[in-house]
Structure 1
Amino acid sequence: MPSPEAHAKIAVAAQPRVNVRPAVNVLFFGDVVGGVATDQIIFNLAKMRDQHRVDIVIVNAENCAPTGLGMTTKQVEALLDAGVDLITGGNHSWDSPDSVDALANPKVIRPLNLCDGVPGRGIAWLDHAGETVTVLNLADACAMKSVRATAGKFRPAYSAWREADRRGTVIVDYHGDHVLEKQIFARAVDGQAAAVLGTHTHEATRALHILPGGTALVSDVGMTGPDGGVQGFAYDGFVAGLTTVGDPFAPPLPSPLDGPIVLGAVLLEIEAGRTTRIQRITEWPPA
Structure 2
Amino acid sequence: MIVLFCGDVVGERATERLAASLPELRRRHRVDLVVVNAENSAPNGLGMGAAQVDRLLAAGADVITGGNHSWDSEESVGLLELPQVIRPANLAPGVPGRGVLHADAAGETVTVLNLADHCAMKSVKATAGKFLPAWEGWQRADRRGAVIVDYHGDHVLEKQIFAHAVDGEAAAVFGSHTHEATGPLYLLPGGTAFVTEVGMTGPGDGVQGFAPANLVSGLRSTGNPFSGAMPSVSVGPLVLGAVVLEVRQGRAVRMERVSWPDDEAAGGPRTAHDRAGVAA
Give the shorter-chain TM-score range: over 0.9
The structure with higher relative contact order (CA 8 Å, sep 6+) is 1
2:144 maps to what in 1? 167
2:224 maps to what in 1? 247
Letter in 2 for 1:185: F
Letter in 2 for 1:144: M
SS state of the match for residue 181, structure 1? helix
In the TM superposition, residue 128 of structure 1 has moved relative to its aligned partner by 1.6
**Is structure 2 residue 15 aligned with structure 1 residue 38?**
yes
Q: Distance in 2 between matches of 1:268 and 1:176?
A: 21
Q: Distance in 2 between matches of 1:103 and 1:224?
A: 21
2:38 maps to what in 1? 61
- TM-score, normalised to structure 2, is 0.92
Q: Distance in 1 between matches of 2:140 and 2:91?
A: 12
1:266 maps to what in 2? 243
Letter in 2 for 1:263: L
In the TM superposition, residue 96 of structure 1 has moved relative to its aligned partner by 2.2
Q: Distance in 2 between matches of 1:221 and 1:284?
A: 18
1:133 maps to what in 2? 110
1:256 maps to what in 2? 233
Paired residues of 2:215 and 2:228 also in contact (CA < 8 A): no
Paired residues of 1:29 and 1:58 also in contact (CA < 8 A): yes
Counterparts of 1:113-124 in structure 2 under 5 Å? 113-124=90-101
Between the two proteins, what is the percent identity of the paired residues?
A: 64
Cα deviations across residues 117-163 of structure 1 (Å, max 9, x unaligned)? 00000000010233110000000000000001101100011111111
Structure 1 residue runs of 4+, over 6 Å off?
none
Letter in 1 for 2:108: E
**Structure 2 residues not aligned, in runs of 5+:** 267-280
Letter in 1 for 2:217: A
**Structure 1 residues not aligned, in runs of 5+:** 1-23
Paired residues of 2:32 and 2:106 also in contact (CA < 8 A): no
**Is structure 2 residue 101 aligned with structure 1 residue 86?**
no
Q: Distance in 1 between matches of 2:238 and 2:62?
A: 22
Letter in 2 for 1:27: L
Paired residues of 1:32 and 1:224 also in contact (CA < 8 A): yes
Query: How many equivalent pairs are there?
Result: 264
Cα-Cα RMSD: 1.0
Q: Aligned to 1:97, which of 56, 71, 74?
A: 74
Cα deviations across residues 91-118 of structure 1 (Å, max 9, x unaligned)? 0011123122111001000000000000
Q: Distance in 1 between matches of 2:106 and 2:53?
A: 25
Paired residues of 2:70 and 2:77 also in contact (CA < 8 A): no
Paired residues of 2:151 and 2:176 also in contact (CA < 8 A): yes
Q: Distance in 2 between matches of 1:73 and 1:283?
A: 24
Counterparts of 1:124-273 in structure 2 under 5 Å? 124-273=101-250
Q: Distance in 2 between matches of 1:172 and 1:277?
A: 16
SS state of the match for residue 261, structure 2? coil
In the TM superposition, residue 281 of structure 1 has moved relative to its aligned partner by 1.1
2:276 maps to what in 1? none
SS state of the match for residue 78, structure 1? helix
Q: Aligned to 1:73, which of 50, 58, 71?
A: 50
In the TM superposition, residue 251 of structure 1 has moved relative to its aligned partner by 2.8
In the TM superposition, residue 174 of structure 1 has moved relative to its aligned partner by 0.2
Cα deviations across residues 163-215 of structure 1 (Å, max 9, x unaligned)? 11100000000000001001100111000000000000001011100000000
Q: Distance in 2 between matches of 1:129 and 1:227?
A: 34
Paired residues of 2:147 and 2:250 also in contact (CA < 8 A): yes
Paired residues of 1:62 and 1:88 also in contact (CA < 8 A): yes
